[in-house]
Amino acid sequence: MFTPKIIKKIKKANLIGRGCNSFATADKWDLVRKAKTRDSKFVICNVSESEPGVFKDRYILELWQERVVEGMKIAMKTVHAKKGFIYINPEYYEQFFDHLISTIRSLEVDIEIYEKPLHDYIGGEETAVVNSMQGDRVEPRLKPPYPTTNGFLNQPTLVNNCETFYAVSLINSDEYKNTRFYCLSGDDTEEKILELPVNITVRQALKEFEHSPSDKYFYQIGGKAGGNVFNHKQLNRKFSGLASIVIYRTERSEKDVVMEWLDFFKDESCGQCVPCREGTYRLRNMMADYFHDNSSLNKELFEDLIYTLQNTSFCPLGRISANAMLSYFKNVKGKNLKTEFGEKCDIK
């Protein structure tokens, strides 16, 4: 079967989606292109960027909006979509709307800008994006079917991150250099962003940011909420998902660090499923009591709670809600998870 030249070029570049899921871009485009429909297909540029410690899409929109819209235009032509959408968080909507409209008009493409609901973490998940745009409750859908066949208005829909469309534009013009954007934030540093090679390690990225790892710090990789935590000796690893590093001083209060993560997930649970809605709430309260009177945890209850969150939550929010805490205890505090918290307590 005929494969468009741009999909071949994307495949050769080995472009992986720049959102959280790291899905092969060429494969996703081909699925939407081949999907059958009697109506329209759609392309959505996801600029929700709701993970704390990640700000690359803002940086791209500040400097290369034309590239993003051009990447969308290429996608629409390739998958035979008549209409596109930019799904953008409220802060960026206010900041970039006028310029985006001007760019869309200059490139003569049918793209509409949709403002994401305020303070909505799960609204960045691709099926939650589709639900939000349809006016439905902002929550993930059961998959399959996937948006590639049943997305917006139940039609085949391509959903890619802002940075992905930027990279596609570069690939199309033979300017792509196998790089991506890396975010640095946290203690003793300003927010910084660099464009670096795709396959570098965390330690190599920190060197480019002119930061020297030491036992004075620990590091959260992949976002300030969902990312896992490592000590300064564990940084010879590549990034998985979001290319974000958050630096913490090791002298930080254990209570403050852990409760910040647990408060976030408790507040951001969409409430669709019981394991996440109740689990994030009860986990937060259990740890608050633990820190308040320095009491021992009910090991059996804690173990069951973690296991239920990780294995029965409907979407990734519940499944990863304990990972930052567990990886912090294991890698920074040196606690044996299975001994102290239970055999089922592990990092997913």
* Domain end residue (candidates: 198, 218, 249): 249
Are 51 and 225 in contact by the 8 Å Cβ rule? The answer is yes
Measured N-to-C along each axis, helices 56-63 and 65-79 cross at an angle, to the nearest 10 degrees, of 100
Q: Is 296 helix (H, G, I), strand (E, B) or coil?
A: coil
Tell me whether residue 346 is in a domain: no
Are 164 and 68 in contact by the 8 Å Cβ rule? The answer is no
Residue 119 pLDDT > 70: no
Tell me whether residue 347 is in a domain: no
Residue 195 pLDDT > 90: yes
Average pLDDT over residues 98-126: 89
Shared-domain flag, residues 65 and 142: yes
Shared-domain flag, residues 60 and 151: yes
| pLDDT reported for residue 77 | 96
Shared-domain flag, residues 233 and 265: no
Residue 339 pLDDT > 80: no
Shared-domain flag, residues 194 and 263: no
Tell me whether residue 23 is in a domain: yes
Tell me whether residue 153 is in a domain: yes
Length of the chain: 348
- Is the Cα torsion angle 183, 184, 190, 196 positive or negative in sign? negative
Q: What's the structural domain count of the chain?
A: 3
Tell me whether residue 143 is in a domain: yes
| pLDDT reported for residue 56 | 97
| pLDDT reported for residue 90 | 93
* Domain end residue (candidates: 249, 272, 293): 249
Tell me whether residue 348 is in a domain: no
Shared-domain flag, residues 155 and 199: no
Average pLDDT over residues 295-305: 84
Shared-domain flag, residues 157 and 63: yes
- ∠ CA 248-185-62 to the nearest 5 degrees? 170
List, for residues 10-39, the tens digit of each pLDDT value: 999 999 999 877 789 999 999 999 999 888
Tell me whether residue 239 is in a domain: yes
Q: For the chain, state the CA radius of gyration.
A: 21
Shared-domain flag, residues 78 and 131: yes
Shared-domain flag, residues 224 and 102: no
* Domain end residue (candidates: 145, 172, 199): 172
H or E, element range at 316: helix 316-320
Shared-domain flag, residues 316 and 195: no
List, for residues 57-75, the tens digit of each pLDDT value: 999 999 999 999 999 999 9
pLDDT tier for residue 1 given thresholds of 50, 70 and 90: low
| pLDDT reported for residue 315 | 85
Shared-domain flag, residues 50 and 116: yes
Residue 295 pLDDT > 80: no
Q: What is the pTM of this model?
A: 0.93
CATH for 89: 3.40.50.11540
Domain that holds residue 318: 254-340
List, for residues 317-328, the tens digit of each pLDDT value: 889 999 999 999
